[in-house]
Amino acid sequence: MAVPLLDLKAQYATIREEIRAAIDRVLEPQQFVLGPEVAVFEREIAAYSRCRYGIGVSSGTDALLVALMAIDIRPDDEIITSPYTFFASVGSIARLGARPVFVDIDPPTYNLDPARIEAAITPRTRAIIPIHLFGQMADMDPILEIAARRNLFLIEDAAQAIGAEYKGKRAGALGHLGCFSFFPSKNLGGYGDGGLVTTNDAQLAQRVRQLRSHGEQSRYEHTRVGGNFRLDALQAAVLRVKLRHVDAWTAARQRNANTYRRLFASRELGELSPPVEAPQRRHVYHQFVVQSTHRDALLATLQRQGIGAAIYYPTPLHLQPCFTSLHYQRGAFPHSEYAAEHSLALPIYPELTPAMQEEVVQAIAAFHHNEKSA
Ligand SMILES: *Cc1c(COP(=O)(O)O)cnc(C)c1O
C-alpha cells in the first residue's frame, strides 16, 4: 500500500458538502475580493488565535512582507532569524533590501536558539523573526524579553503553527505581528494561496489593512505604497469551513505522533530520533520530523516502496545561491546544517490510518536491519 506524505482528497471526502455550500454562498453575491466573508473569517481566526486583530492577505509570504512593511523595514535594516526554515521567512526580508542576520537553531526543537540572539544584535537590528517550525512554538519568553529590552519588533512566522501554544498562549498572539499561511498543505489549508496577519496592536492592524490594498487611506488616496495583498472571498469561505475541523485534525496529528513513538519503541529503532516536545507547548505536528544518520539511503528506500517521506529543508538559507552576497560560509550554523543533512519528515496527516503507520515503521525497521547486517 502506498502511503502519501499528505492526502488532501481523503480530507475533502469528509467535508465535501460543507465546502460546496460555502462556495455557493460566495457565488450568489459575486463579491470575490475581501468583503463580508473575509471579514468574518478574520474575526474567527483572531478569536481562535486569541489575539485582537486578524487581517487576511494573499499568502503566508505576503503576510511576512506586509508585516515587515508595516514596521517600516528599510534597506540596510537587519532582521534576526533562523537559516533553517522555508525560503519565504527570509526572502521577504531580502525583498525589502534589508539584511537577514542568521542565528543558529536549538537542535532538539529546530527553532531559533534564544541564547544566541543577543550576540547577533547590532545598531541596525530592527526585528526578530522566530519561526514556529514543524508546528511547535519557539521558546518565546526569552525572545520576548530580548525584544522588549533591546527595543526590537517581534514577528512570529506562524505559517506552520496554527493553534500551537506556548504556556497557554497561541501562535501569532505573542509578537507584535504574527504571520499565517493557508497554502493547501498547511494544517489549515485553503484551495489556493492565502495568508493572514495577526496583531494585538490597533495601529499596526490598521497599517497592515492599508498596505494590503495599495496603501489606500481612503478611496484613491494613497498615503503609503502598499500592494495587492488581498484575500479572496472563496478562500475565506473554504477556510471558515476547515477552521471548524482544525482542532479535530490537530488531535489526529497528535495521536499519529504518539502512534509512531510507540511503534518506534516496540521495534527498538534507537537509530531514529523522534521529534522532541519542549515543555509547556501544544505541538500541532505540521510535520513529524525524525533524524537518521543514514537519512539519504533511508529516504531512497522509503520512496522506492511508495512511502511519501520528504526533506524539510535540504539547504539552510545561509548557503542558498541567492544569498552569497551575505558572505556566510558552510560551518557558520552547524546545528542548522546538521538538521538539513539528517532530518526526514514522515507522513503525519490526520487521515493516516494505523495500518499505514505500521507500514511506514515496518519499512524503516527493515532498512535498519539491512544496514546492520550489511
Ligand atoms: C508556508 C510557509 C511560508 C509561506 O507561506 P505561503 O502561503 O506559501 O506563501 C512562510 N514561512 C513558513 C515557515 C512556511 O512554512
Residues 194 and 135 in one domain: yes
The last residue of a domain, from among 224, 243, 262? 243
Look at residue 268 and tell me whether its pLDDT is greater than 90: no
CA dist., res. 162 & res. 186, Å (int): 9
Residues 151 and 52 in one domain: yes
Per-residue pLDDT, 146: 98
- Mean pLDDT on 48-69: 98
CA dist., res. 157 & res. 152, Å (int): 16
- Over residues 201-258, the pLDDT tens digits come to 999 999 999 999 999 999 999 999 999 999 999 999 999 999 999 999 999 999 999 9
Per-residue pLDDT, 373: 81
CA dist., res. 192 & res. 230, Å (int): 13
CA dist., res. 125 & res. 80, Å (int): 7
Asked whether residue 351 is domain-assigned, the answer is yes
Give helix 36-48 / helix 233-243 axis angle, nearest 10°: 40
- Mean pLDDT on 328-341: 98
CA dist., res. 239 & res. 128, Å (int): 29
Residues 28 and 173 in one domain: yes
Asked whether residue 75 is domain-assigned, the answer is yes
**Cell numbers that stand for 108 in this block:** 532538539
- Mean pLDDT on 133-162: 98
Domain containing residue 162: CATH number: 3.40.640.10
**Cell numbers that stand for 18 in this block:** 460543507
Asked whether residue 154 is domain-assigned, the answer is yes
- Mean pLDDT on 320-342: 97
Per-residue pLDDT, 1: 84
Residues 231 and 257 in one domain: no
Q: Is 323 helix (H, G, I), strand (E, B) or coil?
A: helix
- Over residues 87-131, the pLDDT tens digits come to 999 999 999 999 999 999 999 999 999 999 999 999 999 999 999
Per-residue pLDDT, 371: 84
Per-residue pLDDT, 348: 98
Across the chain, what does the average pLDDT equal? 97
User: What is the chain's alpha carbon radius of gyration, rounded to the nearest angstrom?
Assistant: 21
**Cell numbers that stand for 86 in this block:** 522555508
- Of 120, 131, 182, 183, the closest CA to residue 158 belongs to 131
Residues 211 and 318 in one domain: no
- Report the nearest atom of ligand 1 relative to the CA of 195: 7
pLDDT bin (cut points 50, 70, 90) of residue 281 is very high
> Total domain count for the chain?
2
12 by Cβ neighbours in 10 Å (0-12 / 13-18 / 19+) ranks as exposed
Domain containing residue 313: CATH number: 3.90.1150.10
Say if ligand 1 is within 6 A of residue 343 CB. no
Residues 201 and 76 in one domain: yes
Could you tell me the distance, in angstroms and rounded to a whole number, from the CA of residue 265 to the centre of ligand 1?
Answer: 33
Asked whether residue 223 is domain-assigned, the answer is yes
Domain membership of residue 279 as a residue range: 246-373
Determine the residue type at 315.
T
Say if ligand 1 is within 6 A of residue 90 CB. no
In sequence order, the 6+-apart residues with CB closer than 8 A to the CB of 82 are 89, 102, 103, 104, 105, 111, 112, 129, 130, 131, 133, 336
Say if ligand 1 is within 6 A of residue 189 CB. no
330 by Cβ neighbours in 10 Å (0-12 / 13-18 / 19+) ranks as exposed
For residue 13, give Cα distances in angstroms to 23, 191, 236.
16, 14, 19
Residues 299 and 223 in one domain: no
Could you tell me the distance, in angstroms and rounded to a whole number, from the CA of residue 295 to the centre of ligand 1?
Answer: 24
Say if ligand 1 is within 6 A of residue 60 CB. yes
**Cell numbers that stand for 54 in this block:** 486578524
- Of 269, 212, 225, the closest CA to residue 56 belongs to 212
Higher pLDDT, 372 or 344: 344
Residues 257 and 200 in one domain: no
The last residue of a domain, from among 190, 212, 243? 243
Question: Does the predicted model carry a pTM greater than 0.95?
Answer: yes
Asked whether residue 3 is domain-assigned, the answer is no
Residues 33 and 134 in one domain: yes
Say if ligand 1 is within 6 A of residue 157 CB. yes
> Would you say 350 and 11 are in contact if contact means Cβ atoms under 8 Å apart?
yes
What percent of the chain is predicted at pLDDT more than 70?
A: 100
Cis peptide before 313 (omega within 30 of 0): yes
267 by Cβ neighbours in 10 Å (0-12 / 13-18 / 19+) ranks as middle
**Cell numbers that stand for 317 in this block:** 538559507
Indicate the length of the chain as a whole number.
Answer: 374
Per-residue pLDDT, 270: 75
Could you tell me the distance, in angstroms and rounded to a whole number, from the CA of residue 61 to the centre of ligand 1?
Answer: 6
Asked whether residue 2 is domain-assigned, the answer is no
CB atoms within 10 A of CB 372: 8
Asked whether residue 165 is domain-assigned, the answer is yes
Residues 276 and 335 in one domain: yes
Asked whether residue 152 is domain-assigned, the answer is yes
Look at residue 374 and tell me whether its pLDDT is greater than 80: no
The last residue of a domain, from among 243, 259, 289? 243
Residues 180 and 326 in one domain: no
Residues 51 and 186 in one domain: yes
pLDDT bin (cut points 50, 70, 90) of residue 372 is confident
